[in-house]
Amino acid sequence: MHHGAPIKEFMGLTFNLGNIMMITIASAIVFIIAVLSTRRLAMKPTGMQNFFEWVMDFVKNIINSAMDWKDGGRFHILGITLIMYIFVSNMLGLPFSISYNGELWWKSPTADPAITLTLSVMVVALTHFYGIKAKGARAYGREFLKPFWIMSPIKIIEEFANALTLGLRLYGNIYAGEILLSLLVVDLAGSGWIGKISAILPTIAWQGFSIFIGSIQAFIFCMLSMVYMAHKVSRDH
């Protein structure tokens, strides 16, 4: 990763234009795939509809493993969107990366901590929101004093730790994958024809493994989101 980033400042905020572009592309791809495959809906599903119904059932199972469907049904759409968006984002950086004028443009948007942390903080914020909605502010606040009031600092830290680990886990996996890929492709393959030949096999292997990691990380992110949500929403503990 011997690249800079195309950073621009606008209205006091700093924008990494590469990230902006990749976020847009990932969102667009998810949206286009989803809309195209659910355009002709039928009682007897065919082709892509089958695939998306499988995804829905998959996420439904994730939610069901964490909490009651009565509580968790409203997070179904959030879960599907999360898993699809993160999966597509993870896959985007795999086939190639594009840098222009020494600035990295094409990469996985999830290979940036700012983006993964945004997603994870959003999820944790949503857990607080739905927790308060489900239990009321007083009962929800009292949860932090259980089982002993002395535990409350740990509980508060836990919330931040959750957000941090959720985001950084995803970021670390994808970023590390991209670094290794760029090392293989740019540095090893750039060091003469012996390097080129010897880089082919590990590159293929690592790309395959990265597909696996990307899928697993999307699944883990979705599952942990639902687990955190279940902690806040469910009434029994």
Two structure tokens written together for 33: 């795939």
Helix (H, G, I), strand (E, B) or coil at 98: strand
Q: Looking at 63, 67, 78, 223, which residue binds other proteins (CB under 8 A)?
A: 78
Pick out residues in 20-39 that bind other proteins (CB under 8 A). 20, 23-24, 27, 30-31, 34-35, 37-38
Q: What are phi and psi of 143, to 5 degrees?
A: -55, -30
Angle between helix axes 17-37 and 76-92 (nearest 10 degrees) is 120
In angstroms, the CA 136 to CA 95 distance is 48
Q: At its nearest, how many Å lie between other proteins and the CB of residue 75?
A: 11
Q: Is 229 in the site for other proteins (CB under 8 A)?
A: no
Looking at residue 234, its amino acid is: S
Q: Which residues are registered as beta bridge partners of 30? A: none
Residue of 68, 123, 115 lying closest to 93 (CA atoms) = 115
Residues 6+ positions from 143 with CB-CB distance below 8 Å: 131, 135, 155
Q: Looking at 58, 64, 68, 81, which residue binds other proteins (CB under 8 A)?
A: 81
Pick out residues in 99-128 that bind other proteins (CB under 8 A). 109, 112-115, 117-119, 122
Q: Which CB, 27 or 152, lies closer to other proteins?
A: 27
Q: Is 224 in the site for other proteins (CB under 8 A)?
A: no
Q: Is 7 in the site for other proteins (CB under 8 A)?
A: yes
**Binding range to other proteins, per CB under 8 A, among 15-23, 140-148, 197-205, 212-220:** 15-23
Q: Is 52 in the site for other proteins (CB under 8 A)?
A: yes
CB-based burial label for 177 (10 Å; 0-12, 13-18, 19+):
buried
For other proteins, the binding residues (CB under 8 A) are 1-2, 5, 7, 10, 13-16, 19-20, 23-24, 27, 30-31, 34-35, 37-38, 41-43, 45, 49, 52-53, 56, 76-78, 80-81, 84-85, 109, 112-115, 117-119, 122, 168, 179
